[in-house]
């Protein structure tokens, strides 16, 4: 009898709820951490990934927006070699921009979505745009939360 695995997202760089190492932030190398995923639900055709800071002073700040990640992807390597389609982050740039809170501790939420299809949306889509579209295509969501506070 085959047991179902839970859809999961993790990183060898930090545990869920722990601090994100400075390497991955604006005051470090500003590269993405390795992300490991597994337990994709049956029917997954693609993945989407969003990194958001809900503690940003002017509302949620999207640090990373990617969709049409191949369903067979098990790992995103450190420094984010190209995969999927990268949309615009809240800094009006394409790709990853690391944690960079102005003051205090912020929560950074990596959200991985298992989708039942590939997405046909403009390449300049933002986090808000992606989240509006994927609702009806989402099979499951996995989250990884990291904390970050800049040193002065």
What is the reported pTM?
0.94
Strand order across the 75-76 sheet = 8-10, 35-38, 75-76
- Report the SS3 class of residue 24: helix
Task: Identify the pLDDT of residue 80.
Answer: 82
Q: Which helix (H) or strand (E) holds 22?
A: none
Alpha-helical segments (H) within the chain: 127-134
Mean pLDDT of the region 125-151: 96
Please determine, for residue 1, whether its predicted confidence score (pLDDT) is greater than 60: no
Per residue in 33-52, pLDDT (tens digit) is 999 999 999 999 999 999 99
CATH superfamily label, 8-148: PEBP-like (3.90.280.10)
Question: Over the stretch 57-90, which tens digit does the pLDDT of each residue have?
Answer: 999 999 999 999 999 999 999 998 778 999 999 9
User: What is each CA distance from 12 to 18, 20, 118, 134, 144, in whole angstroms?
Assistant: 12, 11, 28, 27, 12
């Amino acid at each position: 009898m085959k047991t179902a695995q839970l859809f999961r997202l993790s990183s060898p760089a930090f545990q869920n709820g722990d601090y994100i190492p400075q390497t991955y932030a604006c005051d470090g190398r500003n590269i993405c951490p390795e992300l490991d995923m597994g337990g994709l639900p049956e029917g997954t055709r693609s993945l989407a990934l969003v990194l958001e800071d809900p503690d940003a002073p002017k509302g949620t700040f999207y640090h990373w927006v990617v969709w049409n990640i191949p369903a067979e992807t098990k790992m995103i390597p450190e420094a984010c070699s190209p995969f999927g389609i990268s949309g615009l982050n809240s800094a009006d740039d394409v790709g990853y921009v690391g944690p960079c809170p102005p003051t205090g501790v912020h929560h950074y939420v990596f959200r991985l979505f298992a989708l039942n299809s590939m997405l046909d949306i403009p390449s300049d889509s933002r986090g808000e745009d992606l989240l509006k579209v994927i609702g009806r295509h989402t099979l499951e969501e996995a989250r990884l939360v990291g904390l970050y506070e800049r040193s002065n």
